[in-house]
Structure 1
Amino acid sequence: MEEYTWPARRPDVPGLSPDEVWAATIAALPVGASVAGEVIGRQPFGVFIRIDGLPGAMGLAEIIAMPEGTGLPVLGARIRGEVLDHVGHNRQVRVRLHEAGTALGQSPL
């Protein structure tokens, strides 16, 4: 497995258009909301997250929003964090990871 990977295409949500999925994501995850999910992609700038309970939602935790001194969580790691922002042009939820112990299995930066 390569160290850095892109996430697979987001799953379609039956009966909803991409616009409806994005609107539901924003409504369910306001800024400051707690989120949990699984790391599904890694890049040098951060990790992509499949957010629990929202099959069409994609989260992104950038390195600058990770606790100081932690490494990038590995693929498959379970994480917890807080919603920082919504990025409409690529329909991503920006996430700040919580302090140490957020992710099981981390690699050094």
Structure 2
Amino acid sequence: MDEYTWPAVPGVPATDAVRQSWLPLRRCLWGPHAGEAIGRQWFGVFIRIDGVPDAVGLAEVGRTRHAMELPVIGTEVAGTIIWHADHNHQVKIKLDEWDRPE
């Protein structure tokens, strides 16, 4: 499997499951969160958010310092939800490691 495709493997939530997790996720949107990197694209990494079944967020490359590496699939990461959109159930995350000085 190419690392830049949406992972259709056991343990990765399906689109409908992600949609259904929206209301529980909205209850705990702001503040720090942890999760696992489950997919990579040229524009960022998808993260399964701990504590909310099937919730997925996106950490965008544009939020990194120049030349930062995206987390490898399966890596545990931590960050803060910085944006959400109700109409399409999207959550954007800024990873803590992207705030550290170089």
Which category of TM-score, normalised to the shorter sequence, fits these structures? 0.7 to 0.9
Q: Supply the distance in 1 between the matched residues of 2:33 and 2:66 (Cα, whole angstroms).
A: 20
Q: Supply the distance in 1 between the matched residues of 2:16 and 2:34 (Cα, whole angstroms).
A: 18
Q: Which has the higher helix share?
A: 2
Q: Secondary structure at the match of 1:94?
A: strand
Aligned pairs for 1:9-48 within 5 A: 9-10=14-15, 12=17, 18=20, 21-30=21-30, 33-48=31-46
Match of 2:71 among 70, 73, 91: 73
Q: Supply the distance in 1 between the matched residues of 2:3 and 2:22 (Cα, whole angstroms).
A: 29
Aligned twin of 1:54: 52
Is the CA contact (8 Å cut-off) linking 1:10 and 1:58 kept in structure 2? no
Question: Could you list the runs of 4 or more consecutive aligned residues of structure 1 that deviate by over 6 angstroms after TM superposition?
Answer: none
State the aligned residue count: 94
Q: Which runs of 5+ in 1 are unaligned?
A: 103-109
Q: Which runs of 5+ in 2 are unaligned?
A: 9-13
Is the CA contact (8 Å cut-off) linking 1:40 and 1:49 kept in structure 2? yes
Paired AA for residue 51 in structure 1: I
Percent of pairs identical after alignment? Answer: 47
Shift of 1:68: 4.2
Q: Supply the distance in 2 between the matched residues of 1:98 and 1:66 (Cα, whole angstroms).
A: 10
Q: Secondary structure at the match of 1:89?
A: helix
Shift of 1:75: 0.8
1:85 aligned to 2:83?
yes
- Scaled by the length of structure 1, the TM-score of the pair is 0.72
- Scaled by the length of structure 2, the TM-score of the pair is 0.76
Paired AA for residue 87 in structure 2: H
Q: Secondary structure at the match of 2:51?
A: coil
